């Protein structure tokens, strides 16, 4: 299936997780200019935490569902309930969606930091082994690169992101140190600048306006605009993903956005890592291995993953939307992206059932797992929960924290919305940009954006 096709990858790709959400107020294009007021960024996370949910769930038999659980059930995920019990938790972390009534598993910030770091180290070790042994062992580069990229993306999308909100360990100095080390390791926008812009322009009044770095990335870096067809947007993004010029510009921008006004300690770490490591690699004759083992995943592969992730982050407001404030409006701009598709229906003839299950298993392993592992890593599948509760202390239990909020009736926010599958999620964002107000999102109205920062928002 070509990306531009309207057919989805699963029977249910777009839905709300509840049917009682109010609709965003809209008006004809001739109405007055939209009013914009601050987003409710001080929202307190729900009191019912993942840990509390674990305790509550432990008091009832496995599989028992409360009325709230029933309301929070998703038909695609529920179709997988017939699979063996030991597969259900892995399926939850793969899809990003628990079964109704599934017992939560409590994780921790330290767990996410440790697993991301170990993934980077293990991936580099596997790649180095394949490179040194050569011949058929070069195939080890593929899982090695994947593991390295997975760890890098989790360091950036979860750890670095939470540090910018001073929400990783809740200790300002420690979170800053971790943020500085990650920015130096991955060569991304320096931590101080990112923290300031992310909160001020992305998590506030300017969310999904021309001031938002995410919008600037769409209009300038990807050169996507209102009125373009979905097919044309796909073509442009895919061509950029394989364009040496695009990747060179991306890499240069990363270096410049890291170095400009970065903290001295941040720069010192980068010089030690890349300067010292580079000199050692040359002296030891290991520079080809370093280029292949480290710079392939941290360079081109990281940037491709970044580009695809950008394309699912937020939808553009509908033209004519006059109310640009409050939970209803800001909640409408972010969707969950669940990874997977409905399992085969029961009652099929044996031969047909075997073929359907074979196809389903193949697609889950070869299409959806790479998407989750390499693009929509960590809590990016439930980014909608973060935008409702940016200071939530339960961020590390992201999947079950969102599910508990859903069971509790989403606490005066509109219903959660979601897409199943990366392609469907990108289509939703592209369609919203295609339909967006061309005057409101006219790239000529962007006063000035430094070339140094053009690609910084890909990580926002």
Q: Kindly tell me if the per-residue pLDDT of 116 is higher than 80.
A: yes
Which span out of 186-190, 213-217, 444-448, 454-458 was modeled with the highest average pLDDT? Answer: 186-190
Mean pLDDT of the residues in the chain? 86
The percentage of the chain sitting over the pLDDT mark of 70, rounded to a whole number, equals 81
Candidate from 32-41, 330-339, 423-432 with smallest mean pLDDT: 32-41
CB 87 within 8 A of CB 343: no
Residue 143, pLDDT score = 99
When pLDDT is averaged across residues 152-164 and rounded to a whole number, the result is 96
Question: Where does the pLDDT of residue 188 fall: very low under 50, low under 70, confident under 90, or very high at 90 and above?
Answer: very high
Please name which of 459, 431, 458, 32 lies closest in space to residue 218, comparing C-alpha atoms: 458
Q: Kindly tell me if the per-residue pLDDT of 155 is higher than 90.
A: yes
Burial 36-74 (b: 16+ CB within 10 A, else e): eeebbbebebbebbbeebbeebeeeeeeebeeebebbbb
Q: Which residue has the higher pLDDT, 236 or 322?
A: 236
Q: Kindly tell me if the per-residue pLDDT of 451 is higher than 70.
A: no
Q: Kindly tell me if the per-residue pLDDT of 11 is higher than 90.
A: no
Question: Where does the pLDDT of residue 89 fall: very low under 50, low under 70, confident under 90, or very high at 90 and above?
Answer: very high
When pLDDT is averaged across residues 366-379 and rounded to a whole number, the result is 98
Residue 29, pLDDT score = 38
**Would the pTM of this model clear 0.95, i.e. be above it?**
no
List the domain boundaries for the chain: 1-106+317-435, 107-299
Cβ burial, residue 29 (10 Å; 0-12/13-18/19+)? exposed
Quickly list H helices, 100-171. Answer: 109-133, 141-154, 161-164
CA dist., res. 455 & res. 453, Å (int)? 6
Residue 403, pLDDT score = 96
When pLDDT is averaged across residues 169-191 and rounded to a whole number, the result is 96
Question: Where does the pLDDT of residue 70 fall: very low under 50, low under 70, confident under 90, or very high at 90 and above?
Answer: low
Instruction: Write phi, then psi, for 9 (nearest 5 degrees).
Output: -90, 0
Q: Which residues pair with 36 in a beta bridge?
A: 324
Q: Kindly tell me if the per-residue pLDDT of 312 is higher than 60.
A: yes
């Amino acid at each position: 299936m070509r990306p531009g096709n309207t057919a989805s990858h699963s029977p249910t790709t777009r839905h709300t997780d509840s049917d009682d959400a109010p609709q965003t107020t809209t008006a004809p294009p001739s109405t007055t200019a939209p009013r914009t007021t601050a987003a409710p960024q001080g929202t307190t996370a729900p009191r019912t935490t993942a840990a509390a949910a674990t305790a509550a769930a432990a008091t009832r038999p496995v599989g028992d569902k409360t009325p709230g659980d029933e309301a929070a059930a998703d038909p695609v995920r529920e179709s997988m309930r017939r699979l063996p019990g030991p597969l259900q938790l892995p399926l939850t972390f793969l899809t990003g969606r628990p079964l109704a009534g599934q017992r939560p598993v409590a994780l921790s910030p330290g767990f996410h930091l440790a697993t991301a770091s170990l993934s980077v180290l293990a991936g580099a070790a596997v790649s180095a082994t394949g490179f040194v042994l050569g011949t058929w062992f070069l195939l080890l580069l593929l899982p090695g690169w994947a593991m390295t990229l997975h760890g890098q993306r989790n360091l950036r999308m979860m750890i670095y992101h939470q540090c910018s909100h001073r929400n990783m360990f809740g200790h300002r100095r420690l979170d800053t140190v971790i943020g500085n080390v990650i920015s130096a390791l991955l060569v991304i926008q320096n931590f101080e600048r990112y923290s300031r812009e992310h909160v001020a322009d992305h998590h506030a009044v300017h969310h999904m306006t021309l001031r938002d770095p995410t919008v600037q990335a769409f209009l300038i870096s990807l050169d996507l605009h209102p009125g373009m067809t979905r097919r044309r947007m796909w073509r442009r993004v895919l061509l950029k993903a394989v364009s040496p010029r695009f990747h060179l510009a991306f890499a240069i921008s990363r270096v410049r956005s890291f170095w400009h006004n970065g903290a001295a300690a941040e720069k010192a770490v980068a010089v030690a890592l890349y300067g010292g490591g580079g000199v050692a690699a040359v002296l030891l004759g290991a520079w080809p291995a370093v280029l292949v083992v480290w710079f392939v995943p941290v360079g081109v592969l990281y940037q491709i993953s970044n580009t695809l992730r950008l394309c699912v982050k937020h939808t553009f407001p509908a033209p004519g939307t006059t109310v640009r404030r409050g939970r209803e409006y800001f909640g409408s701009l972010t969707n969950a992206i669940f990874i997977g598709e409905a399992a085969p229906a029961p009652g099929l003839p044996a031969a047909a059932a075997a073929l359907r299950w074979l196809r389903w298993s193949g697609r889950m392993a070869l299409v959806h797992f790479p998407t989750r592992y390499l693009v929509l890593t960590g809590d990016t599948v439930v980014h909608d929960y973060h935008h409702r509760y940016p200071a939530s202390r339960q961020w590390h239990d992201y999947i079950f924290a969102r599910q508990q909020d859903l069971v509790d009736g989403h606490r005066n926010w509109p219903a959660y919305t979601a897409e199943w599958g990366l392609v469907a999620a990108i289509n939703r964002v592209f369609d919203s940009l295609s339909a967006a107000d061309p005057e409101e999102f006219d790239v000529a109205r962007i006063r000035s954006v430094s070339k140094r920062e053009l690609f910084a928002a890909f990580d926002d």
